[in-house]
Structure 1
């Protein structure tokens, strides 16, 4: 599960985490990986190989950090259930 905030400011994020994330279309999302992810190892490799391994990546996108803070405070079971429920609708 990836938590993405679209509207980032230097007041709330460091220069190394001001990723340029945005929707390209209804089905395509441009997401810049964490600056420590590498395509040949660890998380970076797992993102690239997700179809082959049968894993799914869920994107949870909020416009602003204040919205994300509200979501993060939910208990994980409730949080995951809401995401899964919204996908199933």
Structure 2
């Protein structure tokens, strides 16, 4: 079984991009080359600032969705080590 990761990229304009991949470094290289997501073609990615790994694709997709719906302040807390549970209340039912 493949592991999937959810990642957050910091872009040159200060924005944050969230995605998922099997190989985050390879996906980052695609983003940097302009062949990744449409968003990163116009918002140059600078670095990977966060990564979480999951045993399956469905878990990673649920987490990606949860992170994408967080306000920026909570994403920044997550990046700064505010805990992997930031924003998962909807998923866990808590």
Q: Please state which band the TM-score falls in when normalised by the shorter chain.
A: 0.3 to 0.5
- Larger RCO: Structure 1 or Structure 2 (Cα < 8 Å, ≥ 6 residues apart)? 1
In the superposition, the TM-score normalised over structure 1's length comes to 0.39
Higher strand proportion (structure 1 or 2): 2
